[in-house]
């Protein structure tokens, strides 16, 4: 038995390595604009929605961009990203992901997905795991992205579980902040020196041990 009633997962960088594809797509866009961008800068973009990420990248640009130009650039990045995810299959699930989802199911927990990516449904379908979730937040319905708690609170509400009974799983600094301000337990995936706000950090889902949290 777990002390939690629901587990709410982030997608990119937790279930599958699309965090890498988001980086490559942004890098291509940044290069096209002559804006400096590297993996360290990308760390601040993880978990941040598309337009928010673009604003952070363009903060390093020499000139100014109109709203229409920004929308066009965001579209270009999304086209680069969609080309990268087009060939995804269940082989792109990160190690331990399916085992973790199945372990949570066996323990009777509700399972939610809280990704701000508007490509999340398509990625879940390519991975063949949409049916493993009781509820997937539609990013298009979210007004305030991570680190705001809105998306994790919405998942909990739709799952019918109080936030205090939820375990949130995230690879991004902004995502861990969202979980914590939603009043949930935060399991970080990655580096404890980066995910300093998480309650526990593990390197990946192969180390997931529900009873330990």
Supply the residues annotated as catalytic: 10, 12
- Given a contact cutoff of 8 angstroms between Cβ atoms, the answer to whether 211 and 167 are in contact is no
- 122 near ligand BG6, judged by CB under 6 A: no
- 45 near ligand BG6, judged by CB under 6 A: yes
- Pairing state between β 166-170 and 6-9: parallel
- What's the min distance (Å) between Cβ of 114 and ligand BG6? 9
Segments in 62-184 forming alpha helices (H): 67-85, 97-106, 120-127, 150-159, 173-181
- Given a contact cutoff of 8 angstroms between Cβ atoms, the answer to whether 12 and 22 are in contact is yes
Nearest to 167 by CA among 77, 78, 107, 90: 107
- 76 near ligand BG6, judged by CB under 6 A: no
Nearest to 88 by CA among 171, 20, 8, 167: 20
- 12 near Mg ion, judged by CB under 5 A: yes
- 16 near ligand BG6, judged by CB under 6 A: no
Identify which of residues 103 and 139 has a Cβ nearer to ligand BG6 in the complex. 139
- 118 near ligand BG6, judged by CB under 6 A: yes
Which residues within the stretch 152-191 sit at the binding site for ligand BG6 (CB under 6 A)?
A: 172
Site residues, Mg ion (CB under 5 A): 10, 12-13, 171-172
Site residues, ligand BG6 (CB under 6 A): 11-12, 19, 22, 45-50, 53, 78, 115-119, 139, 172
């Amino acid at each position: 038995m777990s002390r939690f009633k629901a587990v709410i997962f982030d997608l990119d960088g937790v279930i599958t390595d699309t965090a890498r594809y988001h980086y490559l797509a942004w890098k291509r866009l940044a290069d096209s604009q002559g804006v400096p961008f590297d993996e360290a800068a990308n760390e601040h973009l993880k978990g941040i929605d598309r337009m928010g990420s673009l604003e952070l990248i363009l903060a390093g640009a020499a000139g100014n961009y109109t709203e229409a130009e920004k929308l066009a650039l965001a579209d270009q990045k999304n086209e680069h990203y969609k080309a990268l995810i087009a060939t995804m299959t269940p082989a792109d699930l990160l190690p331990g992901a399916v085992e973790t989802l199945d372990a949570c199911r066996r323990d009777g927990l509700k399972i939610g997905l809280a990704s701000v990516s508007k490509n999340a449904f398509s990625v879940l379908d390519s991975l063949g795991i949409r049916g493993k979730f009781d509820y997937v937040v539609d990013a298009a319905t979210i007004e305030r992205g991570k680190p705001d708690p809105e998306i994790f609170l919405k998942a909990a509400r739709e799952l019918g579980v109080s936030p205090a009974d939820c375990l949130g799983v995230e690879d991004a600094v902004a995502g861990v902040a969202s979980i914590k301000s939603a009043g949930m337990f935060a399991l970080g995936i990655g580096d404890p020196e980066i995910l300093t706000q998480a309650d526990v950090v593990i390197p990946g889902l192969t180390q997931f041990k529900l009873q330990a949290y």
